[in-house]
Amino acid sequence: MPNNYQPKPGDRVFHPRRIKQYRLRRILGIPALFSAGYGDVGSSIYYALGIVALIALGATPIVLAIAGVIYIFNALTYAEGSASIPEAGGSASFARHGFNDLVGLIAGWALMLSYIVTMAISAYTIPPYLSYFWPVLKAPVIGTLVSMGIIAFLMMINVLGVRESSRVNIFFIIIDIATQVTLVILGIVLILAVNPAVLVQHMFGAGNWPSTSNLIFGIAIAALCFTGVETVSQLAEETKEPAKKIPQAYVLMIVAVLVLFAGISIVALSAMTPQILGDPINGWARDPVAGIAANLPSATLQDIFAPLVAVLAASILLTASNAGLLGISRLSFNLSSHHQLPATLSRVHHRFRTPYIAIILFCLIALLVLTPGFFSTNFFADLGALYVFGSLLCFALAHAAVLSLRIRKPEMGRPFKLGWNIRIGGRELPVTALLGLITTLGIWLIVVITQPYSRWVGLIWMAIGLIVYAVYRRKARLPLTRVPRRPGEGVL
């Protein structure tokens, strides 16, 4: 149309509407943040304890304690990063700000793998808990089919846009914590206090201590127990006073998680041998908390807690699986909005107003991840190792990004700043982030070297992400590292 065009009499002239920029509402406080984060961490105790016992045997409480220290490093780093960069994306956002878009994509793509495996492993452990009511669900084939049905159900309700209530989550978390605390108290009073030697025997007795390689791998797998730091970070844009409330939520999670995991692991090894606790077929590897309830030294207490644990575990694990799907939706939108993935992944359904393409795609991948459950005897441990591949890579990049921001942008606002700093080249570097980087990267390398399933599946997944990223950026005529802020303004 020529520039001097003038409408003729009777022509209808359309004026484009100004597009409004919508932001997420900042409505979440500490209870909602804690319930969301603990929903992931608290749910992991219902399956991770069994995977760790399968690998680490009697050393389970020890490797959990070591992993708990690493979790403290992770939580503190995410507290500083989320307070300084209060946007959804978690480690992907930290890496993008601390390095560039390419590193941010690597962190985000690894985080997507963690979310997918969270969905799969949470769904996979629901049937064993419900086998209290229907024993046939304990069978691997039937259980895998039901797990796939759960993923398909979550895909449907998320495409349709059924929303969860933070108040309902908070209610379930309160009941969950109360139940776990009660089980710990009963186990200590009725089992451990009556015969303290049983714990020593189950930890250090003949055949109960793992080999050196399994001990190291057990520490890596124990990282599976301490999820949730990414979940809180993903909610940064929806949090009131994020600079204040996110660090407080992380501190509260640290206390609750370490106390409960220590208590549950000690009581579990007091109630049963590590071989029974870690047996995925005839033991309690896939439903370890149910094993505690079933081994309480009172038929009355068993009748009370066994069905309660079954229903509560299934509810919490369903919530955790759905949280993984919600995390993927938020993350894919964040990566697309920063030109790190094609905008197709964040496309919203015209009727249901949900990112249906991302939901369907990643649910189908989660179903694919579950297929070895039909035939692989090592599937449970392999699934845990695959989660560790993605999560530890995210954690390592998060630590590295916070350290990079301390070096490159010392003037950056840090409402929550880590203490215990050392000065290198005139820059303050937090010791916890340095230790976190060394430990998470070191354990990740051990997993890559020693675990063929997680190594090849994980590396293939990362290669696919990098190929998609490179092709997309090339078609969009964008550089691999930075994108223009606005046309003509140069690159970021």
Kindly tell me if the per-residue pLDDT of 208 is higher than 80: yes
* pLDDT value, residue 168: 60
Task: Identify whether 483 is part of a domain.
Answer: no
The confidence band for 483, taking pLDDT boundaries of 50, 70 and 90, is: low
Kindly tell me if the per-residue pLDDT of 32 is higher than 80: no
Question: What pLDDT, in 10s, does the model give residues 145-187?
Answer: 999 999 999 898 888 875 555 566 677 778 888 888 899 999 9
Q: Which of 166-170, 197-201, 325-329, 487-491 has the lowest mean pLDDT?
A: 487-491
Task: Identify whether 16 is part of a domain.
Answer: no
Mark 136-160 as b/e (b = at least 16 C-beta within 10 Å): ebbebeebbbbbbebbeebbeebbe
Mean pLDDT across the chain:
84
Alpha helices in 272-344 (DSSP H): 274-277, 288-294, 299-337
Task: Identify whether 24 is part of a domain.
Answer: no
The residue with greater pLDDT, 302 or 36, is: 302
The residue with greater pLDDT, 208 or 235, is: 208
Residues in CB range of 323: below 8 A, 6 or more apart:
36, 39, 40, 118, 231
The confidence band for 22, taking pLDDT boundaries of 50, 70 and 90, is: very low
* pLDDT value, residue 322: 83
The confidence band for 247, taking pLDDT boundaries of 50, 70 and 90, is: confident
Q: Which of 54-68, 332-346, 381-395 has the lowest mean pLDDT?
A: 332-346
Burial tier of 96 (Cβ tally within 10 Å: 0-12, 13-18, 19+): buried
Task: Identify whether 70 is part of a domain.
Answer: yes
The confidence band for 351, taking pLDDT boundaries of 50, 70 and 90, is: confident
Kindly tell me if the per-residue pLDDT of 325 is higher than 60: yes
* pLDDT value, residue 166: 54
Q: Which of 46-55, 276-285, 342-351 has the lowest mean pLDDT?
A: 342-351
Task: Identify whether 250 is part of a domain.
Answer: yes
Greatest mean pLDDT range, 43-47, 251-255, 399-403: 399-403
- Rounded CA-CA distance 279/285 in Å is 5
- For 397, the domain range is 30-475
Question: What pLDDT, in 10s, does the model give residues 363-382?
Answer: 999 999 999 999 888 888 88
**Average pLDDT over every residue of 316-325:** 84
Mark 301-321 as b/e (b = at least 16 C-beta within 10 Å): eeeebbebbbebbbbbbbbbb
Question: What pLDDT, in 10s, does the model give residues 224-233?
Answer: 776 667 777 7
* pLDDT value, residue 307: 93
* pLDDT value, residue 353: 72
Number of domains in the chain: 1
Quick one: which H or E segment has residue 194? Answer: none
- Rounded CA-CA distance 209/204 in Å is 6
C-alpha distances out from residue 41 to 34, 177, 183, 262, 300, Å:
10, 11, 18, 13, 29
* pLDDT value, residue 486: 46
* pLDDT value, residue 396: 95
The residue with greater pLDDT, 291 or 255, is: 291
* pLDDT value, residue 359: 87
Question: What pLDDT, in 10s, does the model give residues 447-465?
Answer: 899 899 999 999 999 999 9
Residues in CB range of 55: below 8 A, 6 or more apart:
210, 214, 217, 218, 221, 278, 381
- Rounded CA-CA distance 146/148 in Å is 5
The residue with greater pLDDT, 46 or 230, is: 46
Task: Identify whether 144 is part of a domain.
Answer: yes
* pLDDT value, residue 3: 47
Which residue in the block uniquely carries the two structure tokens 């900042």?
26
Domain containing 81 — which CATH number? 1.20.1740.10
Question: What pLDDT, in 10s, does the model give residues 100-155?
Answer: 999 999 999 999 999 899 899 999 999 999 999 999 998 889 999 999 999 999 89
Task: Identify whether 21 is part of a domain.
Answer: no
Give the whole-number percent of the chain exceeding pLDDT 70: 88
Task: Identify whether 10 is part of a domain.
Answer: no
**Average pLDDT over every residue of 255-274:** 88
Question: What pLDDT, in 10s, does the model give residues 393-441?
Answer: 999 999 999 999 999 998 888 888 888 899 988 889 999 999 999 999 9
pTM (2 d.p.): 0.84
